[in-house]
Amino acid sequence: MLVFNHRIMACVLLGMLQGAVPTAASGDKDSQKVSPLRVAASNISLQGSGEWLPEARQRLFGAQGSGTFRRLPGSENASDSDELVRDGRLQFEPEGEGGRTVRRLPETEKTNGSSERYQKWEGVASDSPKDEIPQPKPEDVWNMDEGIVYTRIPRTTSTIEINGKIFGNLGIYDELPDVTARLWRFSGPGQLVYRSADGREEILYDCVFPEPRPCVPMDIAVSLDGTRIAFSVYRAAHLYNRQPRGFPVEIPNKALARKGAEAQIFTLDLTTGKLVAWPHMPGSWDTGPVWLPDDRIMFTSTRAGDWPSVLGSSGWHPTLQLWMAEADGSKAVRVGPHERDNAMHPWLHSKTGRIMYSSWQIVNMLPYRGRGGLQVLFGTKDNLWWVMSVDQRGGSLEAELGAHTRQASIDRGLHTLKALHFLGERANGDMCTANYYRGNNSGGGTILCWPVEPGNVEGESPVSALSQKATFEPRGLYLAIAGGSNDIPADERGRARDPEGLPDGNLLFTWLQGYCHTANFNHFKGDVQKRKLGCDAGIYRTTRIPANPAAETNTLVVVDSPDWQEFMPRLVRSRQVATPPIKTTDSGQCLLGAASMKAEVRNYGGEGQFPDRTPCALQGCSTHGIDLSEMVKIRFWEVIPFKHRMRTSDFNGSQGIRTRILGDVPLEEDGSFLASLPCDMPYLMAGVDSKGRAIARDQVVQSLRPGELHTCGGCHLHSTNQTPKFEESLAAQNPPVILKQSSVPEWTWAQDVFPLLQKNCASCHSGDEAPDGLTLDRPGTDKGSTYWQLANNINAQHLFEPPPVDIKGASPPGRMDRPWLSKYVHMLFARESLLYWKAAGQRLDGRADEDRSNDIDFGPDHPWTLNEAELEILADWIESGVYAE
């Protein structure tokens, strides 16, 4: 079923409606209509000078951290409309002046009806083969027939004097929001601006004038009928002046402080001017709204108070998770408890009806993605953002891009996938994302696009892919807009972000021109001063795909003032969106099922040199020496959320999260299963053998919505939609296995595992003469303790019997690498862990010592020291994350 509203709002937005009463938001939960408020006597220009009368603004918005709502043209009467906009257009800097490139839209006549023109560019995602990038149609060239809404912040154009010298190009320190500057630290204050089809501009929400206030309105989403917008206002207690590394003075660039930081969602009816402030929990962030076909809004929020996983630390704010609410903010419910490490900026995909969003994935082996050198260090964790998707109730989690490779296969593998963030969609349904290096580059890089395959299909399997780079990479991935995505100053191509599809198949985007890289003082006084331009962000459109912004014929300006940094544009239009059926259960249970144990969990090219990260860092995680036919049950772990900020010193564990075993579900004869799980519980799962030891396992945390029936064809079977049908499986004919609460205690180091090793092993493994120097009688978790020797000692070269491991790039040889925590423990599999082998009296990874010369050997015979129950405790503890208090 397709939902489409044919009303075109351009004429409405130009002032057809008269006498409408503006609505402004106070701290109350409900919107309130107010009598028309007089605008101060001073004229309101495009820069927003003038203000609401002080008492009116105070009554409506408060004094601190609030913006000013400005009426649209026509929201009062015709004469007021003329007064609200004195100058219909921004005056652009002459072309080429000051190092800026400004290319204008051609002067062409408008066509009839943007709705008709939008429908001319049609197609399905599967029509985009790998070697053929969908091209815009020249006859449908877009001439700004729809208005746009965007955010802007003042561009720093002043200079500073240091030791008698004058320095310019301070615009490089105007920081736009990105995955690092998520909730504060980005530049402010800001304005929300509507630019109409004829080039007139009106400020919708103002934090700049009449005096700067610590807030920025952004995250714009347009309703599907094109009549309303939703946006977030990010606030703080104050603005602060930046002082970059090495600077002897503060600089004039201002940013939102962490103190008092929060964000609140507003909706604005573009035809009536009615502004609605959502109910707000002080100190929380409600961000990234997106409209759904039923007129509800999905958004991201920290309301639940869960904190991210521990990888170095868990950051400085609670986790942004997916939520859903009515259009006025009421009846809010969390639909993304599985997001352990932040979700940002969802987008509703027109062709599939799924919500795409950026997801930070840093648990288990997922951060350890490099293929060369020692990877015990996880690298730049803020670059580990993927594109994920859910259905319109927040269920049926799927990976779209970034889950299986660091290098894209396109352009000879030159594109490293980093932070995949800021999503949009071309007119033919191709999804697009910015790909950038976090932190120093204002969220700018390249724009990648790809056709979305329906049916939970990610891309080529490891068997058929041409390379590891192409494994489960979307078929048809292509570079849409070139730019600099590395952590270095930008070249003449600048940086691109914020893709937004145009009706003619082109893209609207933010183009950052100039140096556009946060530099320390030494680089600032040298390299930056040699540039004609520090950094200027403006909104441009492509004229072809792929586009090189530096090529004069590839892009045209939409809005780019030398006085402002403009970004995050959204087109004000109606659009069609699919509403696919959602599988539900009559009982209200949350059911998860699979039709078979057919699997695509072996990595490309088979097992690599020991220790091989790719089976778990880049691919569905499995042991290589053990046949998958040994799996007889599916195990589920409940993921226990952190309720306060965790530091590395607060947490001892290998997976960055705490888990406890929920229970096991036996497989049917055909390999199928059906489990009833607690609704809204974040979980992980694995295929285990008859003794409950994992053979293949999931690493992405998932959850089920109330009444959800989520089924698949097999175990990470994502290269085709021609998979076994769950409806035809044995499990579909039988009642589900119900797992209500944990059936196994959460084994801990001090209370369960350490006493077990002391009792059974310390008689030999103690003192200076302990075999291999492994002492199993030292309490605690600090360096030198038994726990540290098993879970944290990667320096195996210092052992009496170092393993014959020589990792390329490691220094010195013999040092261990992930997924091994030490010589003795694999972070995910007991059957790959020497400690477990010795306790069980045999090697259990399906190999013999003589099979490979460069791995960990079982070595001399060792007595079976633990009984079956104790071995089960040890295996469960290892595979649940070697947790210690």
Phi-psi label, residue 438: left if phi above 0, alpha if psi -120 to 50, beta otherwise: beta
Using an 8 Å Cβ cutoff, are 537 and 549 in contact? no
| Domain boundary pick from 543, 578, 613 | 578
Is 279 part of any domain? yes
Confidence at residue 651, expressed as pLDDT on a 0 to 100 scale: 86
pTM for this entry = 0.85
Specify whether 550 is located in the same domain as 610: no
Domain stop point among 714, 738, 762: 738
- What residue numbers bound the domain in which 816 lies? 749-879
The verdict on 732 and 759 lying in the same domain is no
Q: What is the pLDDT of residue 647?
A: 80
Query: Residues 493, 550: one domain?
Result: yes
Q: What is the per-residue pLDDT for 839? A: 95
Structure token digits, residue 465: 């892919």
Residue 201 within any structural domain of the chain: yes
Question: Same domain, yes or no, for 71 and 106?
Answer: yes
44 DSSP assignment: -
Instruction: Say yes or no: 766 and 823 in one domain.
Output: yes
Give residue-wise pLDDT tens across range 811-854: 567 778 888 899 999 999 999 999 999 999 999 999 999 998 88
Beta-sheet pairing, 333-334 with 709-712: unpaired
Reading the block at residue 107, the tokens are 């002067």
Q: Cis omega before residue 189 (within 30°)?
A: yes
Q: What is the DSSP string of 560-626?
A: --TTEEEEEEEE-----EE-----B-TT--EEEEES---B--SPTTS--SSSP-HHHHTS-EE-SSS
**Are 790 and 714 within one domain?**
no
Kindly state whether residue 536 falls inside one of the protein's structural domains. yes
- Nearest one of 485, 436, 355 to 181, comparing CA atoms: 436
Q: What is the pLDDT of residue 778?
A: 96
- At 161 the pLDDT is 95
Number of domains in the chain: 3
Amino acid 92: pLDDT: 31
| Cα distance between residue 871 and residue 693, in whole Å | 10
199 and 220 share one domain: yes
Do 803 and 669 share a domain, yes or no?
A: no
What CATH number does residue 438 fall under?
2.120.10.30
Q: H or E segment at 758? A: helix 754-761
Do residue 510 and residue 620 come from a single domain?
no
Residue 164 CB neighbours (<10 A): 5
Q: What is the pLDDT of residue 616?
A: 78
C-alpha 592/C-alpha 818 separation (Å) is 31
User: Which residues, other chains included, contact 39 with Cβ-Cβ below 8 Å and sequence gap of 6+?
Assistant: 50, 51, 52, 80, 83, 84
Looking at 709, 738, 767, which one is the last position of a domain? Answer: 738
Tell whether 528 and 594 lie within a shared domain. Answer: no
78 lies in a domain?
A: yes
CB count within 10 Å of CB 534 equals 25
**553 and 605 part of one domain:** no
Query: Reduced to 3 states, what is the DSSP secondary structure of residue 788?
Result: helix
Pair (32, 158) in one structural domain: yes
Do 263 and 271 contact (CB within 8 A), yes or no? no
- According to DSSP, the residues that pair with 462 across neighbouring strands are none
Q: Mean pLDDT for each 10-residue chunk of the chain (885 residues)? A: 32 30 32 28 27 32 48 39 29 40 43 29 34 68 84 97 95 97 96 94 96 96 98 98 92 96 98 96 97 98 95 83 98 97 97 97 82 56 93 95 83 86 97 96 96 81 75 88 92 96 96 96 95 96 95 92 98 95 93 90 72 71 90 97 86 90 97 97 97 94 97 79 88 96 86 96 92 94 96 86 70 76 94 96 94 89 90 97 91
Residue 419 counted as domain residue: yes
Residue 648, pLDDT score: 78
Contacts of 633 (CB under 8 A, 6+ apart): 664, 665, 666, 667, 687, 688, 689, 690, 692
Query: Distance (Å, rounded) from C-alpha 347 to C-alpha 177?
Result: 17
Q: Computed over its alpha carbons, how large is the radius of gyration of the chain? A: 29
In a domain, residue 289? The reply is: yes
316 in a structural domain: yes
What letter represents residue 141's amino acid? V
Q: Which residue has the tokens 């997001």?
A: 339
State how far the Cα of 65 lies from the Cα of 68, in Å rounded to an integer: 10
- 677-710: pLDDT as tens digits: 999 999 999 999 999 999 999 999 999 999 999 9
* CA gap 816, 789 in Å, rounded: 12
In a domain, 446, yes or no: yes
